[in-house]
Amino acid sequence: MAARKFDNWEPITESDSTIQAALEDASIPSLMVALVHLTGDESIMRGDIRPRSRLLADPQAGVTEEQQAVVRAQAFEILKAYRDGGCQLPPAPNLDQIAEMMNFIIGEPLLEAYAEFLVGELSLHGEDPFGQPGMEQIPQKKKDAFHVLVIGAGMSGILAAHRLKEAGIPCTVIEKNADVGGTWLENTYPGCRVDSPNHTYSYSFVPKNWPQFFSSQKVLLEYFDQCASDFGIRDNIRFNTEVERAEFDEQSQTWNVRIRNADGTIQILNANAIIGAVGQLNRPRRPDIEGRDAFSGPSFHTAQWEHEHDLTGKRIGVIGTGASAFQSVPEIAKQAREVVVFQRTPPWVRPQPIYHDYVSDGKHWLLNHVPYYAKWFRFFMFWRSGEGMLEASKKDPAWPHQTRSVSEYNDRIRANFTKYITSIVGDDPELLQKCIPDYPPGGKRILVDNGTWLKTLRRDNVHLITDPIAKITEAGLVTESGETYEFDVIIYATGFYPSRILWPMEIRGLGGLDLQTHWDGDPHAYKGVSIPQFPNFFCMYGPNTNIVVNTSIIFFSECEMRYILGCIKLLLETDQASMDCKQDVHDTYNEWIDEGNANMAWGAPTVKSWYKNEKGRVTQNWPFTLLKFWQQTKGPDPSDYIFRSRKP
Ligand code: N01
């Protein structure tokens, strides 16, 4: 992996024909704003050629072919002049100009607050959008005396260790697996890949020449593996080691953490703070179906794939139709004699023609050579796959068809998705009926498809069964209608235990309070990070920090880590030993979150999903904009916390 900062673009030395060829592959909206950087000429974004909002499915956002040709010709002249002039840039744009560029690329006026966010993202003046300014002023001696224990070396844990190291804070990472990567290490099922665009699903400060727009598990694992090496944090990680218990010691205001080493020995570590970076989708769930253990053949969960079983020519039963089944079934079907998929609820499917496509050479060249193009392309993706989609999931209380959709906009999305599904399976009315969900789009995770899933369901060797499973037998499955199915292998694509955040670890806070008992299946936290009565325990990807409509969970981790660093900085600056979130602050925050979630498609009472706990509360999701989370997590407000010092 060539890890480079976005602003380290390569000088242009290539021939005219290379430039021209690359421009054929340009994202025109991203290119146009990059041209403003290159020339300082605002007229480029003040003419008739402009991206249009809400055209989220069109990669050129409504810029016509003819208009694209005009922009390419203009870009060719500008890039040649830039090359021939020694690759010099005019002065950086000011805040007003950035705001205009941002509104231009989105196609509608955005909140002014986005400009500040973007200035950081663009790093025009070397800003670190997720950094914690002022950390460098704290004496190293103080930092050396503050030890942080990070649980997990997946995407969030690697980030946490890196940021702590950068800040000069000592840390130890405890990882249950033999290597880094978390979810990308554990999930090795065939077809596993990211379904958020990779140019946003990456650390903001470690771009990569992603081979595909949505890369495979192998490529993602390589990325995180390389990051861990490049960050120099491997020596901080204790592999094959599990945290069993963590107990807050009120005397010293520190945490005592019991770990089980690879050789089974037990050790107690002491830490000033803990960062729980274990993810929400970490503990595989096999549902309690009658006779579950009776099956005589191999059976395994998608997140614990048993590669030793050759599926060629086999009869396979797959339970579930969430994202894991969606990606693995098409691959299994290529090998197996027969695949029977048991569906309880159909997923909404969103067309994404480039889902399996490779990034062309021209696109790579533009990303690497044209100043700020990669940054704007990232923002363009960020908007189109995330922020811009939020509106479509928002409930309009006046909308009369709340069961099928939550607003007029949401209904239009429903119609589009229905049209797409119909275009592939429409000539099979029985299959079509099984594939159209009866709940609003966004109620559950929308799966991105380039036709692979729906075409797989049409294969002669694939059958989609909606008759509920009654029991598992020695030979296979029996459904409620009494139909029997015999299999060689049963695969559980049945998800995880998201509401049991941090389970099965025993975490004990003030007065020995046990976290899982305290939460009772209903995890809450302040900003997803702090839990009252659990001082100096910080979560990453904690309660209500999951996102439903796409974009990148890495963005959230970067926000959370910035906030956590801010907390540590505050403790060190004030010479306090611990900070404990105030209960009323936490409660008011969570009321706001619950209200927000009730207004979203995934909060609709008719929808059941892993976003809700058994009581029906949305425990996992963040209901507002990404910008709002970015603003919320800039740093802690000291008045939100109770500070305590070490007891004499
Ligand atoms: O799990 P899920 P997943 N009988 O919980 C069904 C992320 N992810 O592993 O919908 C029959 O979504 C259940 O049915 P229902 C992503 O965030 C990302 O697929 O509850 N069926 C459902 O169909 C995703 O959302 C990627 O009615 C039973 C399925 O099992 C999250 O992980 C790839 C059942 C479980 O679906 C989880 O996805 C993979 C029963 N008793 C995962 N119990 C990327 O692309 C459960 N089901 C990045």
Tens-digit pLDDT profile for residues 129-169: 788 888 999 999 999 999 999 999 999 999 999 999 999 99
Q: How many residues belong to the chain? A: 648
Mean pLDDT calculated for residue range 298-313: 97
Q: At what angle do helices 217-230 and 155-167 cross, to 10 degrees?
A: 20
Residue 530: predicted pLDDT: 98
Q: Tokens 């993810």 belong to which residue?
A: 279
Nearest CA to ligand 1 atom 48: 194
Inside any domain, residue 294? no
Mean pLDDT calculated for residue range 115-140: 81
> CA nearest 174: which of 147, 197, 199?
147
Inside any domain, residue 105? yes
pLDDT confidence of 6, banded at 50, 70, 90?
A: very low
Inside any domain, residue 288? no
> Does residue 305 share a domain with residue 449?
yes
Secondary structure string (H, E, C) spanning 541-575 = CCCCCECCCCCCHHHHHHHHHHHHHHHHHHHHHHC
> Does residue 276 share a domain with residue 168?
yes
Q: Would you report the helix, strand and coil content of the chain in percent, each value rounded to 5?
A: 40, 15, 45
Nearest CA to ligand 1 atom 36: 322
CATH code of residue 535: 3.50.50.60
Question: Phi, psi (5° rounding) for residue 6?
Answer: -60, -30
> CA nearest 396: which of 408, 404, 412?
408
Q: Which atom of ligand 1 is nearest to the CA of 321?
A: 23
Secondary structure string (H, E, C) spanning 414-445 = HHHHHHHHHHHHCCCHHHHHHHCCCCCCCCCC
Q: What spacing in Å lies between the alpha carbon of 393 and ligand 1's midpoint?
A: 20
Tell me if residue 299 falls in helix, strand or coil: strand
Domain that holds residue 447: 299-354+400-492
Q: Which residues have C-beta within 8 Å of that of residue 485, sequence separation ≥ 6?
A: 317, 340, 465, 476, 477, 478, 479
> Does residue 236 share a domain with residue 142?
yes
589 conformational bin, left if phi > 0, alpha if psi -120 to 50, beta if neither: alpha
Contact 454, 425 (CB under 8 A): yes
> Does residue 414 share a domain with residue 305?
yes
User: E strands within 110-209?
Assistant: 148-151, 171-174
pLDDT confidence of 331, banded at 50, 70, 90?
A: very high
CB atoms within 10 A of CB 225: 18
Question: Which two structure tokens, joined as six digits, stand for 582?
Answer: 């105030």
- How far apart, in Å, are the Cα atoms of 171 and each of 143, 234, 511, 524, 526? 11, 11, 26, 26, 23
Residue to probe by mutation, ligand 1, list 184, 301, 304, 344, most atoms within 8 Å of CB:
344
pLDDT confidence of 181, banded at 50, 70, 90?
A: very high
Q: Which of 56-60, 219-223, 241-245, 632-636 has the lowest mean pLDDT?
A: 56-60
pLDDT confidence of 547, banded at 50, 70, 90?
A: confident
Residue 2: predicted pLDDT: 32
Residue 550: predicted pLDDT: 58
Residue 57: predicted pLDDT: 65
> Does residue 335 share a domain with residue 404?
yes
Contact 208, 202 (CB under 8 A): yes
Inside any domain, residue 484? yes
Nearest CA to ligand 1 atom 14: 344
Residue 223: predicted pLDDT: 97
Q: Which residues have C-beta within 8 Å of that of residue 86, sequence separation ≥ 6?
A: none
> Does residue 248 share a domain with residue 148?
yes
Residue-wise pLDDT for 348-406, tens only, equals 998 888 899 999 999 999 999 999 998 888 888 877 776 767 888 999 999 999 999 99
Contact 245, 257 (CB under 8 A): yes
Q: How many domains does the chain have?
A: 3
> Does residue 411 share a domain with residue 262?
no
Nearest CA to ligand 1 atom 38: 323
Inside any domain, residue 209? yes
Q: Which atom of ligand 1 is nearest to the CA of 494?
A: 30
> Does residue 121 share a domain with residue 100?
yes
Residue 606: predicted pLDDT: 83
Inside any domain, residue 241? yes
Q: Measure the CA–CA gap between 540 and 279, rounded to whole angstroms.
A: 7
Q: What spacing in Å lies between the alpha carbon of 494 and ligand 1's midpoint?
A: 5
Q: Which residues have C-beta within 8 Å of that of residue 440, sequence separation ≥ 6?
A: 393, 402, 403, 404, 405, 406, 410, 414, 601, 604, 607
Helices then strands (H, E): number in the chain? Answer: 20, 21
Residue 391: predicted pLDDT: 86
Residue to probe by mutation, ligand 1, list 610, 613, 614, 620, most atoms within 8 Å of CB:
610
Nearest CA to ligand 1 atom 25: 445
> How far, in whole angstroms, is CA 449 from its chain's centroid?
18
233 conformational bin, left if phi > 0, alpha if psi -120 to 50, beta if neither: alpha
Residue-wise pLDDT for 15-48, tens only, equals 999 999 999 999 999 999 999 999 999 999 999 9
Q: Which atom of ligand 1 is nearest to the CA of 192?
A: 33
Residue-wise pLDDT for 401-438, tens only, equals 999 999 999 999 999 999 999 999 999 999 999 999 99
Residue to probe by mutation, ligand 1, list 202, 281, 553, 622, most atoms within 8 Å of CB:
281
Inside any domain, residue 162? yes
Q: Which atom of ligand 1 is nearest to the CA of 608?
A: 20
Q: Which residues of 29-68 are buried (b: 16+ CB within 10 A; e: fewer)?
A: bbbbbbbbbbbeeeebbeeebbbebbeeeebbbebeeebb
User: Among 434, 462, 492, where does a domain finish?
Assistant: 492
Inside any domain, residue 292? no
> Does residue 411 share a domain with residue 369?
no
> Does residue 191 share a domain with residue 99?
no
Q: What spacing in Å lies between the alpha carbon of 285 and ligand 1's midpoint?
A: 10
What percent of the chain shows pLDDT beyond 70?
97
User: Among 492, 526, 549, where does a domain finish?
Assistant: 492
User: Among 462, 492, 522, where does a domain finish?
Assistant: 492
Contact 622, 551 (CB under 8 A): no
Residue to probe by mutation, ligand 1, list 494, 499, 608, 610, most atoms within 8 Å of CB:
494
> Does residue 596 share a domain with residue 544?
yes
CB atoms within 10 A of CB 460: 7
> Does residue 112 share a domain with residue 199?
no
Question: Phi, psi (5° rounding) for residue 126?
Answer: 80, 15
